[in-house]
Amino acid sequence: MSKHLTADLHELVFAMDAYAGRVLSDHFGLGYSRFVFLSPLLGGPLDVTRLAESLNFSKAAVSKRVPILEREGWVSTTEDLSAGRRVVIALSESGRDRIGAAAGELNGRFGAMLAGLAIDVDLFADQVRTLTEAVHELDAERKLQ
């Protein structure tokens, strides 16, 4: 096992984020943090709590950012009256088109890179999800101790 696994993984994520940021800026005029914030909504509308959880943000941080994104035409919001004051956030049509195109571009570039390195893209994606779930479980166990 690598003595530097944590540092190696951090370096990989940092390099991927930096590269993705440059691609998003150059090809879509889009900042990386905005892309990351909006990407979970590609799966469909989310309420503030679920979006915050998916981003590991506070609900206050999400609530503060949403009105700006709504004014700029990235998202729309609705109130779910059946659930108190729950606000549901959805990508606008143009937001969905732009974020979807950007996600497709990044997935294509990273997929081609992995394939060029003879790394099975689907297997690698499964392993990353498995590792992520295992780390979340490890953290949950830590909280119980």
Q: What is the pLDDT of residues 1-47, one digit of tens each?
A: 678 989 999 999 999 999 999 999 999 999 999 999 999 999 999 99
Kind and range of the H or E run holding 47: strand 46-47
Task: Provide the pLDDT for residue 7.
Answer: 94
Q: Which amino acid does the sequence have at 29?
A: G
Q: Which amino acid does the sequence have at 136?
A: H
Structure tokens at 72: 């700029």
Look at 18 and 143; give whichever has higher pLDDT: 18
Which of 23, 1, 49 is CA-nearest to residue 109?
Answer: 23
Give alpha helix (H) positions in 5-120: 5-28, 32-38, 48-55, 59-71, 93-116
Task: Provide the pLDDT for residue 142.
Answer: 84
Which of 42, 50, 44, 57 is CA-nearest to residue 107?
Answer: 42
* pLDDT tens track for 114-123: 999 999 999 9
Task: Provide the pLDDT for residue 83.
Answer: 67
Answer for the pair 73, 52: CB distance below 8 angstroms, yes or no: no
Which of 77, 5, 68, 79 is CA-nearest to residue 33?
Answer: 68
* CATH placement of domain 5-118: 1.10.10.10
Q: Where are the domains of the chain?
A: 5-118
111 class by beta-carbon count within 10 Å (0-12 exposed, 13-18 middle, 19+ buried): middle
d(CA 59, CA 13): 25
Look at 133 and 1; give whichever has higher pLDDT: 133
Task: Provide the pLDDT for residue 64.
Answer: 96
